[in-house]
Amino acid sequence: MRKYTPAEIEPKWQQKWEQQTIYQTDESPDKPKFYALEMFPYPSGEGLHMGHVRNYSMGDVIARFKKMNGFRVLHPMGADAFGLPAENAAIQRGVSPQTWTLNNMKRIREEQAQLGLSYDWDRYVGTCEPDYYQFTQWLFLHFYETGLAYRKKAAVNWCPECATVLANEQVEDGLCWRCESEVEKKELEQWFLRITDYAQRLLDDLDRMPEWPEKVKAMQRNWIGRSEGAQITFTLPELENEPVSVFTTRPDTLYGVTYIVLAPEHPLVPRLIQGKPGEEKIKEFIKQVTNESELARTGADVEKIGYETGAFAEHPLTGEKIPVWVANYVLMDYGTGAVMGVPAHDERDFQFAQKYHLPIKQVIRPKDQEEETLESAYVEDGVMIHSGSFDGLDNRKAISAIVSRLDELKKGKKTVSYRLRDWLFSRQRYWGCPIPIVYCDSCGVVPVPKEELPVRLPEDVVFDGKSNPLTTSETFVHTLCPSCGGKARRETDTMDTFIDSSWYFLRYTDRHNKELPFSPDQADKWMAVDSYIGGIEHAVLHLLYSRFVTKVLYDAGMVKVEEPFRLYFPLGMVLKDGSKMSKSKGNVVSPGEIISKYGADTARLFILFAAPPEGELDWTESGVEGSYRFLNRVWRMLEKNRDVFSNRLDPDLQDASAKELNRILHQTIKKVTEDIGGRFHFNTAISAVMELVNAVYAYPKEADKGMLAEAIEKAILLLAPAVPHITEEMWHSIGYTDSIHLQPWPQYDESALIQDEIELAVQINGKVRDKVVVSAQADRQAVEDQVMQLERIQSMLAGKSLRKVIVVPGKLVNIVAK
Ligand code: ANZ
Ligand code: ZN
């Protein structure tokens, strides 16, 4: 008997697969396509962790399964290679970001290869490589040409520790997402992408994505944050009736306005306070507030602070004079940066009015109650009061009535606001994609022509942890204007690295295109991605940005699909002893360790088997050992039955054991096919194969040998996607010469699933005393008759009186006797 030796088998097959290029993408036009994608890794210095292994193992099973099921499959891999850690390594250890990153990429590729993953390495993409980022720049130019990229001075989130600008989404609870220092605000000229132009489409198309988890769609909807309401225009008599618009979701409360609040950054504020007694105090307040993060200003438990400007605005319907305030809680970049204060019907306004002794004017009362003094804001629906001709109306109806009145008077209109902001796109960093723009004294902002791409990252830079290293490269900064040939300066901001991963799935479809990011024809052959697996931490940003970029390319006629990912599957986390595996907790099990001890197949099998794919997976050594034992059992299943392959017969299915094994086999094929093909239930698929293996072990020596060979061979095929090496070795050892991974998937036969005989336990007074094999079609009476014929039962019942016989179909017979 040969022993199972993964350390020999695995590298051997990995090499052969590579030589025989069996994972090269099949482009046969006559097969249906399947695009299997897993999120590509960031090439950190730590290499792969178990979360990666879980992600890739799942994706690999799907890709192999689809291939065996007759699909042409695209299953690529790459590295999301730009990012801050490379730059930090340069600062701390003097190693260049290029070298550091390329080394890590190499190491990760080796680790992926050791797992036996079926990638088409020929399509490998590293986003930091010039032949990739050249097209990220191409994409930027497209954004620029279509007006989707623009520059604007903006109060940006500034991390003093990282010395860089952060996007809103990189600020978590007021802290930098990377280094956790307190984030400040700073005014800088920045590049933005106009994702807000796509807000409504990004929202609407979520309704057409049945294969995305509801939870993820809800997170995206929430992020986009659509609010229906109205813009209402007040006027400022002291500034020659200059208009000031507020955004409100409650136009029905317009008669209850007792003050107006402008954001401290609102452009009208300086003119309103000029020469007023409070001017200096307010200026100081503004300075302080603009330095604070959004959360520090608007958090639920943050104190609302306001100042009276001394100016008044005129109410659009009543003409009343309303005092104008500035306050920390009003944000400049939502709605219009100005709000109408309605303390009677908004909790926040109520607190503000109480604090500053502003009048509270109720304009809606409960349907079945008279108006009375409010203890807190009345936020429910009700009947309109103190609202001129709108009195008596249901407040919901008053919303549209008031908006139409304002519309007629040209003092307001219905609008929609989104929480989503334009994508703050530039970073003052080195290790990212250079923005292909130059600044010329005579021509201004000039895009680099597409033929001159890539704008390469220079290597003559200083990494001292201060400022942006790109600004230290003389050769990079000083250039000539592509338009007039005069002296010009290059943009030294690089792109947010989220852009790199927002189109890589398109590059895979046409990896070697030298003219374009990809050709529309090639993209059309593969898009959309049919299954995308990756962590839930990317549910909002990466997926939203990818959806946005795909829509932009759709509008440009580059792709035919509006959504990049037909199905998104967030996998569960890998835990150890109940908490997330992490270096700081010291509970990390490295994939390399497991592979050298048990082999990649054991690691893959354990990970696929130990939990449902969406659930958390608790790593246990005993579980890993169990998987290893199972693979040994699979191995021996063949070793001890070698004779049935040396002289192979067809199944003749004459004896009952053969029929039963055949039934179990077909039932297993059905279950595995449905579990993998449906909701990726690899764990239940594997336990079904375990039962089949048990049935093979229990199969009588003297029974039909042809059936035994059939069952063993099919069991190996069913396991092939999960454990590719051991199954390949076994496959070849029974005499096949081409790869198991190129074989068609086993099919099941409905008629073989019908069970003709079943075994029932026979109990007397609840204790099992015997068993009986009956026809699956037998009725209760027939079963009872057969049981009463059993010798053992007859003798045990001798001298007793029979009370009752209970038949539980398919399970047992219980005889009650005294
Ligand atoms: C008057 C009013 C009366 C309001 C009332 C609410 C209740 P959502 O639903 O999140 O869109 N608002 C508008 N722009 C703002 C800004 N830039 N900063 C802070 N608050 C702002 O919230 C919309 C409501 O938030 C708007 O409706 C406005 O207050 C406030 F009984 O207007 B409301
Ligand atoms: Zn010029």
Q: Which residues of 449-590 form beta strands (DSSP E)?
A: 478-480, 487-490, 494-495, 531-534, 568-570, 574-576, 579-580
Q: Tell me if 583 is assigned to a ligand binding site.
A: yes
Check if the beta carbon of residue 74 is closer than 8 Å to that of residue 25: yes
Neighbours of ion ligand 2 (CB under 5 A): 440, 442-443, 481, 483-484, 486
Ligand 1 close to Cβ of residue 335 (< 6 A): yes
Its CATH class, for the domain covering 633-753, is: mainly alpha
Task: Give the residue whose CA is nearest to atom 25 of ligand 1.
Answer: 248
Check if the beta carbon of residue 112 is closer than 8 Å to that of residue 48: yes
Ligand (nearest to CA of 418): 1
pLDDT value of position 169: 63
Helix (H, G, I), strand (E, B) or coil at 603: helix
Please tell me the number of Cα atoms within 13 Å of 483 on its side-chain side: 14
Ligand 1 close to Cβ of residue 206 (< 6 A): no
Specify the long-range contacts of residues 139-146, CB closer than 8 Å, at least 24 apart.
139/499, 139/503, 139/517, 139/549, 140/433, 140/435, 140/436, 140/495, 140/499, 141/436, 141/447, 141/448, 141/450, 141/453, 142/552, 142/556, 143/193, 143/552, 144/437, 144/447, 145/447, 146/552, 146/556
pLDDT value of position 402: 97
CA 428, CA 771: separation in Å to the nearest integer? 78
pLDDT value of position 298: 78
User: Which CATH number, 3.90.740.10, 3.40.190.170, 3.40.50.300, 3.50.50.60, labels domain 226-418?
Assistant: 3.90.740.10
CA 281, CA 286: separation in Å to the nearest integer? 9
CATH number given to 757-817: 3.10.20.590
CA 449, CA 431: separation in Å to the nearest integer? 22
Same fold, 29-138+498-591 and 226-418: no
Sketch the domain layout of the chain as residue ranges.
29-138+498-591, 226-418, 436-492, 633-753, 757-817
| Mean pLDDT of each 10-residue bin along the chain, 818 residues long | 95 96 94 98 91 96 98 98 89 91 96 96 97 98 98 85 73 81 86 97 97 96 96 96 97 98 95 92 90 76 92 97 96 93 96 96 92 90 96 96 97 96 91 97 96 96 83 95 96 96 98 97 98 93 97 98 97 86 79 94 96 92 95 97 91 89 96 93 96 96 93 98 98 96 95 81 93 84 89 90 88 91
Check if the beta carbon of residue 611 is closer than 8 Å to that of residue 57: no
> 357 — alpha (psi -120 to 50), left (phi > 0) or beta?
left
Distance 416 CA to ligand 1 centre (A): 12
Ligand 1 close to Cβ of residue 342 (< 6 A): yes
pLDDT value of position 586: 78
Q: In whole angstroms, what separates CA 87 from the centre of its chain? A: 26
Ligand (nearest to CA of 445): 2
Query: How many residues comprise the chain?
Result: 818
User: Which CATH number, 3.40.50.620, 3.20.20.150, 2.60.120.20, 1.25.40.10, labels domain 29-138+498-591?
Assistant: 3.40.50.620
Task: Give the residue whose CA is nearest to atom 8 of ligand 1.
Answer: 227
Task: Give the residue whose CA is nearest to atom 5 of ligand 1.
Answer: 346
Least Cα distance to 527 among 503, 556, 500 occurs for 503
